[in-house]
Structure 1
Amino acid sequence: MKTKLQKNSGKILTVVVSVFIIFLAYNLYHAPVEGLEEKFIYLLKTYGYIILFAWSMLEGEMGLIMAGLLSHTGDMNIYIAVFVAGLGGFAGDQVYFYIGRFNKAYVYKNFKGQRRKFALAHLLLQKYGWPIIFVQRYMYGMRTVIPISIGLTRYSGKTFAFINLISAWCWAAITIVPAWYFGEQILDVLHWIKEHWYLALPFAILIGGGILYYFNKVTKKKENIYNETNTF
């Protein structure tokens, strides 16, 4: 039987994101320090684990890297950071899963432009099974689609939750631990970029554009393998 929590999973995610943004904006404005950069650092040090959990629900690696750097400087505990980030990533994908499981009409209506990706996600699940759940966090353009598409199937919710939790903690550790270990070098690079941003900006644009181009090309190539009739 559907519970109200499951049926309203999409609304819950929207509320969480909205509250998170309002929380950040309010505390950023009232931070007792001068300068936007100092205010942001103060916010991370004061509400680090709360921000990390919410950020991880959206599966943003930048938040995990910041957690690794704060762990390096002693402002966060690396073990707690990995634990909290993993829980956040787990919670986010569980919400997406239940959107697919109990809000099919919403998915059909609002994800029409993603039909090829849903078809690809279903075929990948049929071909590779549970490992797709484990690696979906590293698949650009498919992070949201795969949990929702699995929810649309009869795949066991308990099995998905178990694999999702292990995957989320691995994802958190793989991202946070290197940032913590190489924290000094990363901070030196960031300091150099801050002082020489005019030199670093072209490289950042070039590298970022190259990464986006590569993943978009790979995703489109995979999608074109399958016929559009293989929809959900």
Structure 2
Amino acid sequence: MDLTSLLSTYGYLALFIGTFLEGETILIIAGFAAYNGHMSLPLAILVAFVGSFAGDQTAFYVGRYNKKFLETRLKKWECRIEKVHRLLEKHQVLVLISFRFFYGFRNVTPFAVGTSNISPLRFFCLNGIGAAIWAVSFGVGGYYLGDVLERFLQDAKWYVAGGLLGILAAFWIIKTVRSRLRKSRC
């Protein structure tokens, strides 16, 4: 089975599962696949929206109805949950629409919101708006990234492309390590 048939058979399911759990990377890849004609960009964006929205709604209700789970199992998130609560006091609408765009708060925010006094209907509406903005942004971003990479790779030598990808990977690793160190300090 080649990549094209894998993407057409399992691509949307993988995209749904990936965006249900987190999803930036898989959505960018789906946008890139859409650029190359392996997926439909509008359908990929729709699937990503549904996956992200459903995942965050699920996390909200886990936070709402299973606070003991959060208190006992997720002690490592305690500091971030407190930060989310402080942000919600000052910028509730902005936080609820934009949390997907902030690394480190993407996964914890819906759980934290579930432990707050924000109504399920309010979260439902703002979560939908945020999921739509996020899905369109990253889906279209991945699509145009495909265009940029294709143009770049047509003009560049493979060793230059490999070197640049290596440098990008090194920066990403350094950023990830620094972020994790900061999180452990809270």
TM-score where L is the length of structure 1: 0.69
Q: Residue 101 of structure 2 corresponds to which residue in structure 1?
A: 138
Task: Give the 3 Å change call, closer, same or farther, for CA 199–119 of structure 1 in structure 2.
Answer: same
Q: Distance in 1 between matches of 2:169 and 2:37?
A: 32
Describe the shift of the 1:154–1:190 C-alpha distance in structure 2 as closer, same or farther (beyond 3 A).
Answer: farther
Looking at both structures, which has the greater relative contact order when contacts are Cα pairs under 8 Å and sequence separation is at least 6? 2
Q: How many residues are treated as equivalent by the alignment? A: 185
Instruction: Select 2:72's aligned residue among 78, 92, 109.
Output: 109
Q: Which residue of 2 aligns with 1:203?
A: 167
Q: Identity, % of aligned pairs?
A: 31
Aligned to 2:5: 42
TM alignment of 1:83-122, pairs within 5 A:
83-122=46-85
- The structure whose residues are more often helix, as a share, is 2
Q: Which has the larger radius of gyration?
A: 1
Any idea what SS the aligned residue of 2:106 has?
coil
Instruction: Give deviations 1:142-201, integer Å, cap 9, x for gaps.
Output: 1121111110112110110111111111111111112223423324667999x5486346
Q: 1:54 to 1:191 in 2, by over 3 A?
A: farther
Instruction: Compute the displacement of 1:50 (Å).
Output: 1.5
Greater shift in the superposed pair: 70-79 or 153-162: 70-79
Structure 1: where are the runs of 5+ without partners? Answer: 1-31, 224-232
Q: CA offsets, 1:100-152, max 9 Å, x none?
A: 00111111111112211111111110111121011111121111211111101
CA distance in structure 1 between the aligned counterparts of 2:173 and 2:6, rounded to whole angstroms: 30
Which residue identity is paired with 1:135?
S
- In 1: Cα distance, 2:165 partner to 2:28 partner: 20
SS of aligned partner of 1:129: helix
AA partner of residue 43 (structure 2): I
Is the contact made by 1:68 and 1:176 (CA closer than 8 Å) also made in structure 2?
A: yes
Helix, strand or coil at the partner of 2:38? coil
Asked if 1:173 is matched to 2:124, the reply is no
The residue type equivalent to 1:67 in the other structure is A
Matches within 5 A, 1:48-63: 48-63=11-26
* RMSD across aligned positions (CA): 2.7
Name the CA shift for 1:163/1:143 in 2 (closer, same or farther; >3 Å). Answer: same
2:176 maps to amino acid: L
